[in-house]
């Protein structure tokens, strides 16, 4: 009889402990869900901040590109001692951020210009770029990039 009472008492204690464990597990699950939401929100905020930082960099590069004189720029590419390094860097910077450019023509201009820069650097004075083509590409880029500039300014200002 004593063993039966002990069995009932221990069974009750075990049931109580199981209920408490289930409650703690449920509370832990809720905390985990909240933590996941916090992490997701933080990741989204970080992505927005990274995008905004990239857009500011792209905007600065695009504004500098808009000040390039295409004919002079193209001529300087054929003079290894006098390469327009600042303008080349701006174009390469914008090229590296082309994922933010929706216009395929802009992307193509950037691609062709950067390939030309690579050839000029690699071959030094042995290669001559087609100045007319480069000037047309720069002009085309300057014209088309204005859409991006307007869009980026709006997005940066709204954030």
Q: What pLDDT, in 10s, does the model give residues 117-134?
A: 988 888 765 778 888 999
Give the pair of three-digit tokens for residue 129: 């770029």
The whole-number pLDDT of residue 2 equals: 80
Asked if 42 and 82 touch (Cβ cutoff 8 Å), the reply is no
Q: Which of 63-72, 91-100, 115-124 is predicted with the least confidence, judged by mean pLDDT?
A: 115-124
Domains of the chain, by residue range, sit at: 2-158
The whole-number pLDDT of residue 124 equals: 67
Please count the residues of the chain.
159
> Residue 145 burial (CB < 10 Å; 0-12/13-18/19+)?
buried
- Return the half-sphere exposure (C-beta side, CA atoms, 13 A cut-off) of residue 68: 33
The whole-number pLDDT of residue 3 equals: 83
What is the C-alpha to C-alpha distance for residues 66 and 12, in angstroms, rounded to an integer?
A: 80
Residue 77 pLDDT more than 70? yes
pTM as predicted? 0.78
Average pLDDT over residues 100-123: 91
pLDDT-derived band at 98 (thresholds 50, 70, 90) equals very high
The whole-number pLDDT of residue 80 equals: 77
The whole-number pLDDT of residue 122 equals: 82
Buried b (16+ CB within 10 A) or exposed e, 73-104: bbbbbbeeeebbeebbebbbbbbebbebbeee
């Amino acid at each position: 009889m004593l063993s039966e009472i002990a069995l009932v008492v221990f069974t009750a204690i075990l049931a109580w402990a199981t209920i408490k464990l289930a409650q703690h597990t449920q509370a832990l699950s809720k905390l985990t869900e909240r933590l996941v939401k916090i992490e997701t929100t933080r990741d989204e905020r970080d992505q927005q901040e990274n995008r905004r930082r990239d857009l500011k960099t792209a905007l600065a590069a695009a504004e500098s590109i808009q000040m390039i004189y295409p004919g002079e720029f193209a001529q300087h590419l054929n003079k290894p001692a006098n390469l327009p390094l600042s303008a080349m860097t701006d174009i390469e910077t914008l090229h590296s951020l082309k994922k933010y450019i929706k216009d395929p023509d802009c992307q193509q201009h950037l691609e062709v210009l950067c390939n030309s820069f690579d050839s000029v650097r690699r071959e030094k004075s042995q290669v001559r770029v087609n100045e007319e083509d480069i000037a047309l590409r720069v002009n085309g880029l300057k014209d088309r990039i204005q859409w991006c500039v307007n869009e980026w300014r709006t997005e940066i200002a709204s954030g």
